[in-house]
Structures are given as structure tokens and as C-alpha cells.
Amino acid sequence: MATRILPSPTKHWLAKKLASYRPIPQLRFTPLPPTQLENLPGRSLNFLEELGEKYGTTKRYHDYLRHYWVHFRDIRESVRNVLEIGVETDRSVRMWREFFPNAVIHGLDIDPGCKAYEQERIQITIGDQSHPAILNQCLRKMSGPPEIIIDDGSHRPDHQILSMNYLFPRMAPRGIYVIEDTGGCVEDVRLRTVNRLKTLVDSVFYWPSGPNTHWTTLSKFPDSATWADRNMTGVAFYRWIVFVMRGQNPGDNPHLPLSPERIAADGLTPFRG
């Protein structure tokens, strides 16, 4: 096969490009010495952790409540419908009822005995989370789409993914979907649920293929973007728990599109990496 000879200007450009190329470095962390670790500040309990102690929910043993506090504290007054898959006791649903003062807490569990936990602003549905008809039954009881869904149910990876596939598109436009207990704590050492959720990062960082405008003017995605590309704005991984945020991507950014004058004034020139 004949070797193609590049024109001289192209060869010159390519040589300069290769000469300047630097591979992306690997992440290598240097641990702090023990003396510095001892001086790191501690933290006090937040309001949600205080409620966890009050109601005795087991979520506090996994250290989940401080993560819930970060994601829920700014929306607790506006939330109207919360669905928690997996009830078992009334500890968690009562905690959520106090934390979300204007919401109805909907619980789903396969144990008929959990029906006894119904009370003011707490409703219980009995059924299997892997059955769409049961999930739809929960949704029909709500005054509107749920803003918060927490999967603390069977902990089976197939159930976790099946439930999310059905419920996530039916959430409120800016809802938060949480999957508790992933990985080794439920003997999923292959991280089946986590690895599926990792693929959502590609949608969060979606960028159109082919010729593109500068990011400052890209306020709408082309038709080739998937539903997930358009409706997923963030994924947060913590130990054993994952938060997935619904939203309009990139439409939730109120600053876009910027005018040519603003781009020039702020020096927002295209990135040439």
C-alpha cells in the first residue's frame, strides 16, 4: 500500500502539534501526614441528621443523611410529593414528613403490614417495585409528579434499574432520584448498579458532534440529542448512594445564550486545548 505524502504545510502543522502534545496526567494523590489529619476540623450534626437521631432511622449508620442534607435543604419547603421505595418501619417516612413540611410522603413496600404506618401526610402502597403497574399505582395517588424519589427497596440491581427506568421520566422536571445501598454493602461487589449509573455521566456532559457553536451560544441541543442528554443535569456518587438530578440541559442555564457583545466584553474566547 502506497504511503500518502502530506503536503509540506500540513506536515509542518502536524509536527508542531505532535511536539506540543502532552498526555492527560493520571490522578495520583499524596496522602496527608497523620499530624495534619489530626488537625482537620470536625463537623456538627445538621437538622436532617438530628431528625435521623430523633426517629432512629438506619440511614444515619451509612452516613447518608449529610448527603441528603446537601441536596435537599434548599428545596424542603417546596417539595409536595416524596416517594420512598422500601418502608419496613415508620422511622424513615416519619423523618421525611417532618423534614418536608408541605409534602405527602408516599411509601412502597411488599409487606402488607406496612399499611399500618399510614397517617396524616403518609400514604403506603403495597406491591413489588419491579412491576410498572405497582409503580404507576403510587404515582396515581399523588397530587402531581414526585420531586423526590428514594429507592431503599429490595437493593437488587435489576430492581433498582427497572424502577428508575420507569419512574425517572415521570418525575417533576427538576426532581432528584436517589438509589441507596449500592455496591459491597448489599454484596454487589461487581458494582452492577453503579456501573449502569456511570453511563449517565455521558449525558450530563453531552456535546453535539460535528460543527458546533461556541458554548456561550449553545442554549439548545440538536434533534440528535437523546432524552437523557436533554433531561439530566447532574449525577453525584457517594459511598453506597447515588443522586441523579433531572433538569433541562442546557436550558436550565439562565445566562445562555450570551450576546456577541457580552462574549467580547468578558473575553470568553473559544477554548483551543
- Active-site amino acid positions: 155
3-state secondary structure of 207: coil
| 183 within 8 A of 191, measured Cβ to Cβ | yes
Q: In what order do the strands lie in the sheet with 241-246?
A: 122-126, 104-109, 81-85, 148-151, 176-180, 241-246, 232-238
> Which run of H or of E encompasses 45?
none
CB 84 within 8 A of CB 152: yes
CA distances from 265 to 123, 260, 261 (A): 55, 8, 6
